Structure 1
Amino acid sequence: MSDRIEFGSGDNKVRIEGLGKTVRALQKAGADAEDMRDLMHALGSIVVDAASPPVVSGKLAGTIRAGRGKTKAVVRAGGAKAKYAGVAHYGWPAKNKPANPFLTSALQANQGRIFSALDAGLADILKKNDLT
């Protein structure tokens, strides 16, 4: 896992340094991996709740979900019920299908909430495991 995460474009970039090191230190100190999974799921759920996918049949909205990784928050969309999720999000220029980056937009619009939840969640895990 990289200790440096950077996203955004142009003058609006966000860089997080040391998250991987923090997670490894928590694990080494005995913090419960399930607590980290719960935290990462909660962070992903913020994006899931804010996502506004294009509505054609309504199936795509039902496939958006947050993962439960212990080192990163992951949001997925699509699957057998909505195989077109990638095209809906990224577009398909050859078929004149415009992009509708509904997950990226939800992430960008909620960065402040996500960082606050990450900070509070890590503090709770530290406190729960007597690491503060």
Structure 2
Amino acid sequence: MSDEFEVVSGTGRVRVKGLRKTLRSMEQAGADAESMRDLMHSIGSIVVRSASPPRVSGALAGTMRAGRGKTKAVVRAGGARAPYGPVIHYGWPARGISAQPFLSDALNRNQANIFRELDTGIADILSHNRLT
């Protein structure tokens, strides 16, 4: 698994290298895991708040949630109450269902906010744990 990713928006490009390694080093140096989970949940919540799934009954919108991983932000939609969530998001060409990537669209619209939250959150964790 790569420890590098790139975000391209128009003519702008941001490449992030070593985030996983940085987070692991922070944890080993004493940054508490709960603070990291809170930060990742906060980042995922930015996407959840901005996402606009197609609304028929509203059930799918009610299943969107941000995870609490300590090294990555995860957003989910669907589940037992709306098992069709992934099909709506990714589509199903064999069944004539086109993709409606509401989570990916929300992620793309909020990249600046996400990077700002990540930067501020890591700085706060470092400061709180006297690692700066």
1:72-121 Cα shifts (integer Å, max 9, x gaps): 00000100000000111011112221110000000000000000000000
Q: Which residue is 1:126 aligned to?
A: 126
Aligned to 2:117: 117
91-100 vs 27-36, which moves further: 91-100
| Of 92-101 and 108-117, the range deviating more from structure 2 | 92-101
Match of 1:42 in 2: 42
Return the offset for 1:6.
3.5
Q: Which residue pairs with 2:64 in the alignment?
A: 64
Q: Give unmatched runs, 5+ long, in structure 2.
A: none
Amino acid of the structure 1 residue aligned with 2:70 = K
Q: Give the TM-score normalised by structure 2.
A: 0.92
Give the distance between the partners of 1:9 and 1:114, measured in 2 at CA: 14
Root-mean-square deviation (CA, aligned residues, Å) is: 1.8
Structure 1 gaps of 5+ residues are none
| Distance in 2, Cα, partners of 1:9 & 1:123 | 25
Give TM-score, length-normalised by structure 1.
Answer: 0.92
Cα distance in 2 for residues equivalent to 1:8 and 1:101: 18
**CA distances 1:44-78 after superposition (whole Å, capped 9, x unpaired):** 00000000000111100000000000000000010
Distance 1:38 1:105 in 2: 23
Per-residue CA deviations over 1:23-54 (Å, capped at 9, x if unaligned) read 01101110000000000000000000000000
Q: Which amino acid aligns with 1:24?
A: R
The equivalences for 1:1-132 within 5 A come to 2-6=2-6, 14-132=14-132
* TM superposition shift of 1:7: 5.2
Q: CA deviation at 1:11?
A: 6.8
Letter in 2 for 1:54: P
